[in-house]
Amino acid sequence: MSLTTGPQVVVAGYLVRCPLGGFAWQVAHFLLGLRALGCRVFFYEDSAYDAKAFVPGAEGGDVYTRGAAAAERFLLARGLADRWAFHDAAADRWFGSGRDMARAALADADLFINLGGVNRVPRAARPRAVSAYVDLDPGVTQARLAAGDPVLDALVGEHDCLFSFGERIGRSGCGVPTAGRTWRPLRQPVVPELWEPLPSDAAAPFTTIGTWDVDGRDVTVGGETFTWRKRVEWMRILDLPRRTGMPFRLAMNVAHHPEDRRRLEAHGWDVVDPIALSADPARYRAFIRTSRGEFTTAKDVNVRLQSGWFSDRAACYLAAGRPVVTQDTGFGERIPTGHGLHAFRTPEEAAEAIARVVDDYAREVVAARELATACFAPERTLAPLLAVAR
């Protein structure tokens, strides 16, 4: 399909309100992946449904203006300067391509993709489009629906089909409730050209970037509480630096947990500020590309419910030719493990996986890149979304 005759796809997501590296690259991979497949793409965001924003450096100032400027710089560098719009609903201000182009893009859309449900666009504004809800937080979303959350239920109900990064939902052995809905498996696309591998540095640490602890995201399934925290799992592998003799660097928000930080550092973990890295998407990417690999845990909700979730950040590490050792959520059913990607369940398995990566690092680097190309390339991961478009 040519760029002028392919389907019009509007991706609604979270960028102006939070222009951090992880969000920025996630949006870029969808937009650029769809464009590479011949689609006409447009990014849309507004504050009507969710006005919360986190824009570093904008504390006490005009958060949306600063967020829009950051989004514009990022999208301009990706060749998307005139293919986005943000609406500050409270002040009725438009940024990017403006109101008329945004409304025209929505009205002409063949496919509307709502990433994470952080935007609520009425069907009347997208009358032609097949609408796809993409669940980015498997387990949490379904548990809230099963518990009868009326706001989320109404939002999800405004879409024609539901996709989830929890690729095992509805399958045997997965404890995530379906909440009476069909969840189609979906995987984060990654554009390999954005993550060309750099020469490896034997002294580089294993790293990760993420959220240590977040309040208010616990859910109950079958009378049991599950948390949206990595802290729970990390405390089980505190002595990994001692076990392996390797350096590890965590970019995690432990500033408000001084006792946790002291424990991590006492066990050999180098803890750095994630916001300083993520505020600039280029710096975020450089952090990944100059690492030895990624080591990380998963959130309790995905580990114990075995949702099959796989981190889009981990996919970026793989695309950068950086091996990944991550906690098992059941993703191995659909993504090959053993070379380039290793899943662990116990501290002993984590240490063994690190040793395998270090002992055969040259092979692991090649395997990581090959896995990213085979399993996360847009032509594979975005096919289910394009298949539902008219």
Instruction: Output the pLDDT for position 145.
Output: 97
Question: In the chain, which ranges are E strands?
Answer: 8-12, 40-46, 84-88, 93-96, 111-115, 130-135, 161-164, 183-185, 206-210, 219-221, 224-226, 248-252, 269-272, 293-296, 324-327, 341-344
How sure is the predictor about 314, in pLDDT bands with cuts at 50, 70 and 90? very high
Higher pLDDT, 257 or 38: 38
pLDDT tens digits for range 71-117: 999 999 999 999 999 999 999 999 999 999 999 999 999 999 999 99
Instruction: Output the pLDDT for position 211.
Output: 87
Q: Among residues 175, 180, 189, which one has the least CA distance to residue 138? A: 175
Q: Residue 3: pLDDT above 70?
A: no
Residue 387 and residue 68: Cα distance in Å, rounded? 32
Mean pLDDT confidence for 336-357: 98
For residues 325-355, b (16+ Cβ closer than 10 Å) or e, as one string? Answer: bbbbbbbeeebebebbbbbbeeeebbbbbbe
Mean pLDDT confidence for 258-271: 96
pLDDT tens digits for range 318-328: 999 999 999 99
DSSP code per residue over 255-285: TT-HHHHHHHHHTTEEEE-HHHHHTSHHHHH
Architecture of domain 192-375: 3-Layer(aba) Sandwich (3.40)
Residue 48 has what DSSP assignment? S
Please, where are the H alpha helices in 214-346?
Answer: 231-234, 240-244, 258-266, 274-278, 281-289, 300-305, 312-319
Percent of the chain clearing pLDDT 90 (strictly above): 91
User: Are 106 and 17 contacting, i.e. CB atoms less than 8 angstroms apart?
Assistant: no
Q: Is 202 exposed, middle or buried (0-12, 13-18, 19+ CB in 10 A)?
A: exposed
User: Are 377 and 194 contacting, i.e. CB atoms less than 8 angstroms apart?
Assistant: no
Q: Which residue has the tokens 């996919």?
A: 315
**Residue extents of the structural domains in the chain:** 8-189+378-388, 192-375
Angle at which helix 361-375 crosses helix 312-319, to 10 degrees, equals: 120
How sure is the predictor about 1, in pLDDT bands with cuts at 50, 70 and 90? very low
Residue 86 and residue 11: Cα distance in Å, rounded? 12
Contacts of 150 (CB under 8 A, 6+ apart): none
Q: Among residues 390, 386, 312, 380, which one has the least CA distance to residue 113? A: 386
Residue 307 and residue 174: Cα distance in Å, rounded? 6
192-375 has the same fold as 8-189+378-388: yes
Q: Which residue has the tokens 């809905």?
A: 181
Per DSSP, what are the bridge partners of residue 341?
324
Contacts of 65 (CB under 8 A, 6+ apart): 58, 95
Q: Among residues 30, 27, 75, which one has the least CA distance to residue 376? A: 30
CATH of domain 8-189+378-388: 3.40.50
Q: Is 363 exposed, middle or buried (0-12, 13-18, 19+ CB in 10 A)?
A: middle
